[in-house]
Amino acid sequence: MLKITKFGGSSVADSTQFKKVKSIIESDPARKFVIVSASGKRNPKDNKITDLLYLCHAHIEYHVDYLPLFKMIEQRFLDIKNELSLNTDIESELAVLEVELPKLSIDELVSRGEYFTARLMADYLGFPFVDAKDVIEIRYDGSFDYDRTSENLKKILVENKRFVMPGFYGRTPDGKIRVMTRGGSDISGSILARCLKADVYENWTDVSGFLIADPRIVKNPRNIEKITYSELRELSYMGASVLHEDAIFPIRKYNIPIHILNTNRPEDQGTIILDNIPEEDDKESPIITGIAGKKDFTAVEIYKKHMSNDVGIVRKTLSVFEKYGVSIEHIPSGIDSFSIVVRSKDVSENIYDIVSEIKEAIHTDHINIADGIALIATVGRNMNSRPGTSGKLFAALGNSGINIRMIAQGSDEINIIVGVENKDFERAISIIYNNFIGEE
Ligand code: ASP
Are the C-beta atoms of 111 and 169 separated by less than 8 Å?
A: yes
Q: Over range 57-66, report the average pLDDT.
A: 95
How open is the CA angle 398-401-402, to the nearest 5 degrees? Answer: 75
Residues 140 and 51 in one domain: yes
Looking only at the bridges linking them, the beta strands covering 404-409 and 415-421 are antiparallel
Residues 183 and 300 in one domain: no
Q: Does residue 409 register a pLDDT over 60? A: yes
Q: How many domains does the chain have?
A: 2
CA separation for the pair 3, 391 (Å, rounded): 42
DSSP 85: T
Residues 148 and 33 in one domain: yes
- Please indicate, yes or no, if residue 332 is contained in any of the structural domains: yes
What's the confidence (pLDDT) of residue 299? 94
Q: Which amino acid is at 172?
A: T
Q: Does residue 286 register a pLDDT over 90? A: no
Residues 247 and 325 in one domain: no
Q: Name the residue of 7, 17, 48, 245 whose CB sits within 8 Å of the most ligand 1 atoms, as the mutation to test its pocket.
A: 48
CB of 380 sitting under 6 A from ligand 1? no
Residues 22 and 138 in one domain: yes
Q: Does residue 278 register a pLDDT over 90? A: no
For residue 399, count CB atoms less than 10 angstroms from its CB and return exposed for 0-12, middle for 13-18, buried for 19 or more.
exposed
Are the C-beta atoms of 204 and 259 separated by less than 8 Å?
A: no
How open is the CA angle 20-93-191, to the nearest 5 degrees? Answer: 55
- Please indicate, yes or no, if residue 7 is contained in any of the structural domains: yes
CA separation for the pair 286, 234 (Å, rounded): 17
Residues 330 and 250 in one domain: no
Name the band, by pLDDT with cuts 50, 70 and 90, for residue 219.
very high
The gap from C-alpha 400 to its chain's centroid, in whole angstroms, comes to 33
- Please indicate, yes or no, if residue 280 is contained in any of the structural domains: no
Name the band, by pLDDT with cuts 50, 70 and 90, for residue 439.
low
CB of 184 sitting under 6 A from ligand 1? yes
- Please indicate, yes or no, if residue 248 is contained in any of the structural domains: yes
CB of 423 sitting under 6 A from ligand 1? no
- Please indicate, yes or no, if residue 285 is contained in any of the structural domains: no
- Please indicate, yes or no, if residue 276 is contained in any of the structural domains: no
Looking only at the bridges linking them, the beta strands covering 415-421 and 366-379 are antiparallel
Q: For the domain that residue 62 is a member of, what is the CATH number?
A: 3.40.1160.10
**What number does the ligand 1 atom closest to the CA of 184 have?**
8
- 38 Cα: distance to centroid of ligand 1 (angstroms): 6
Q: 147 — phi, psi (to 5°)? A: -65, -50
What's the confidence (pLDDT) of residue 362? 92
**What number does the ligand 1 atom closest to the CA of 51 have?**
4
CB of 189 sitting under 6 A from ligand 1? no
Residues 322 and 427 in one domain: yes
Q: Of 226, 246, 101, which Cα lies nearest the Cα of 181?
A: 246
Long-range contacts of 271-275 (CB under 8 A, 24+ apart): 271/208, 271/209, 271/210, 271/223, 271/224, 271/225, 271/226, 271/227, 272/225, 272/226, 272/227, 273/226, 273/227, 273/228, 273/229, 273/232, 273/243, 273/248, 274/226, 274/227, 274/228, 274/229, 275/228, 275/229
Q: What is the domain range of residue 87?
A: 3-207+242-254
- 367 Cα: distance to centroid of ligand 1 (angstroms): 45
* pTM summary value: 0.86
CB of 53 sitting under 6 A from ligand 1? no
- Please indicate, yes or no, if residue 396 is contained in any of the structural domains: yes
Residues 44 and 138 in one domain: yes
Residues 248 and 294 in one domain: no
CA separation for the pair 363, 143 (Å, rounded): 45
Q: Does residue 80 register a pLDDT over 80? A: yes
Q: Which amino acid is at 69?
A: L
Residues 176 and 294 in one domain: no
Q: Which residues contact 325 (CB under 8 A, 6 or more apart)?
A: 346
CA separation for the pair 98, 92 (Å, rounded): 10
The gap from C-alpha 41 to its chain's centroid, in whole angstroms, comes to 18
Residues 246 and 199 in one domain: yes
Q: Which residues contact 131 (CB under 8 A, 6 or more apart)?
A: 115, 165, 166
Q: Which amino acid is at 413?
A: E
Are the C-beta atoms of 39 and 75 separated by less than 8 Å?
A: no
Q: Over range 281-294, report the average pLDDT.
A: 88
Q: For the domain that residue 427 is a member of, what is the CATH number?
A: 3.30.2130.10
429 to each of 31, 37, 422, how far by Cα in Å? 39, 34, 12
Residues 247 and 313 in one domain: no
- Please indicate, yes or no, if residue 354 is contained in any of the structural domains: yes
pLDDT, greater one: 122 or 246: 122
